[in-house]
Amino acid sequence: MSNAKDDDAVAGPVPVAPVPNAPTESGPVLAADGTPLKRSLSRALRRQKGRALLLVAPLLIFVLVTFIIPIGSMLFRSVENDIVSNTLPYTVQRLASWEAESGNLPSEDVYKAMYDDLFVAAEAKRHTRLGSRLNYEQTGISSLFRQSGRGVDDLAGDAADALEDAVPAFGEGETWYALMDAGSGEGNTTLLSNMRDRIGRLNDSAASAEMDFVPSAEIAAVLPRTARTYTEWAVYTVTEDERNPAERDPWELVSLALLEELPTADLSGLSAERAALLQQAQAVDFNVPSYRETLAEIDEEWGTVTPWETIQTHSSKYTAGYFLNAIDAQKTPDGYEWQPEEKQILLTLFGRTLFMSLMITGSCILLGYPVAWLLANLPAYKANLLMILVLLPFWTSLLVRTSAWKVMLQSQGVINDVLVWIGLVDDANRLVMINNQFGTIVAMTHILLPFMILPMYSVMQTVPPSYLRAAKSLGATNWTAFWRVYFPQSVPGIGAGSILVFILSIGYYITPEIVGGTSGVFISNRIAYHISSSLNWGLAAALGTILLAVVLVLYWCYDRIVGIDNVKLG
Q: Per residue of the chain (570 residues), give pLDDT as tens.
A: 444 444 444 445 555 444 454 454 556 777 666 777 778 888 888 888 888 888 888 888 988 888 888 888 888 989 999 999 999 999 999 999 998 888 899 999 999 999 999 999 999 899 999 999 999 888 889 999 999 999 999 999 999 999 999 999 999 999 999 999 988 778 899 999 999 888 888 877 777 777 888 999 999 999 999 999 999 999 999 988 888 898 899 999 999 999 999 999 988 888 888 899 999 999 888 998 999 999 999 999 999 999 999 999 999 999 998 999 999 998 888 888 888 888 889 999 999 999 999 999 999 999 999 999 999 988 888 888 889 988 888 888 888 888 899 889 988 888 999 999 998 888 888 888 888 999 999 999 999 999 999 999 999 988 888 888 899 888 889 899 999 999 999 988 898 899 899 999 998 888 999 998 888 889 999 999 998 888 889 999 999 999 989 888 888 887 877 666 666 555
CA–CA gap between residue 382 and residue 428 (Å, rounded): 44
Interior angle at CA 179, CA 176 and CA 181, nearest 5: 95
Radius of gyration (Cα) for the chain, nearest Å? 39
pTM as predicted: 0.79
**Alpha helices, H only, 181-305:** 189-202, 217-222, 224-236, 252-261, 272-282, 291-298
Q: Is the separation of the CB atoms in 559 and 449 below 8 Å? A: no
In this structure, the number of other CB atoms found within 10 A of the CB of residue 56 comes to 10
The values of phi and psi at residue 30, to 5°, are: -105, 150
Say how many residues make up the chain: 570
Question: What's the pLDDT score for residue 64?
Answer: 85
Question: What's the pLDDT score for residue 532?
Answer: 87
| Long-range interactions of 449-452: CB distance < 8 A, separation 24+ | 449/364, 449/367, 449/368, 449/393, 450/390, 450/391, 450/393, 450/394, 451/364, 451/497, 451/500, 451/501, 451/504, 452/361, 452/364, 452/365, 452/367, 452/368, 452/372, 452/497, 452/498, 452/500, 452/501
Q: Is the separation of the CB atoms in 523 and 539 below 8 Å? A: no
Could you give the 3-state DSSP secondary structure of residue 215?
A: strand
CA–CA gap between residue 262 and residue 161 (Å, rounded): 16
Domain limits of the chain?
Answer: 33-73, 168-282, 346-566
Question: What's the pLDDT score for residue 341?
Answer: 86
Question: What's the pLDDT score for residue 26?
Answer: 57
Residues forming a β-bridge with 331: 336
Each residue of 110-121: b (16+ CB within 10 Å) or e? Answer: bbbbbbbbbbbb
Q: Is the separation of the CB atoms in 336 and 120 below 8 Å? A: no
Strands (DSSP E) contained in 65-156 are none
CA–CA gap between residue 526 and residue 536 (Å, rounded): 11
CA–CA gap between residue 345 and residue 407 (Å, rounded): 29
In the chain, the N- to C-terminal Cα span, in Å, equals 80
Question: What's the pLDDT score for residue 291?
Answer: 94
Q: How far is CA 481 from the centre of its chain?
A: 52
Could you give the 3-state DSSP secondary structure of residue 336?
A: strand
CA–CA gap between residue 276 and residue 254 (Å, rounded): 19
Could you give the 3-state DSSP secondary structure of residue 36?
A: strand
Question: What's the pLDDT score for residue 561?
Answer: 72
Question: What's the pLDDT score for residue 16?
Answer: 47
CA–CA gap between residue 170 and residue 259 (Å, rounded): 12
Nearest to 280 by CA among 293, 292, 267, 269: 267
Domain boundaries 346-566, CATH class: mainly alpha
CA–CA gap between residue 131 and residue 119 (Å, rounded): 14
Residues forming a β-bridge with 330: 337
Nearest to 141 by CA among 309, 290, 293: 309
CA–CA gap between residue 532 and residue 522 (Å, rounded): 16
CA–CA gap between residue 319 and residue 333 (Å, rounded): 14
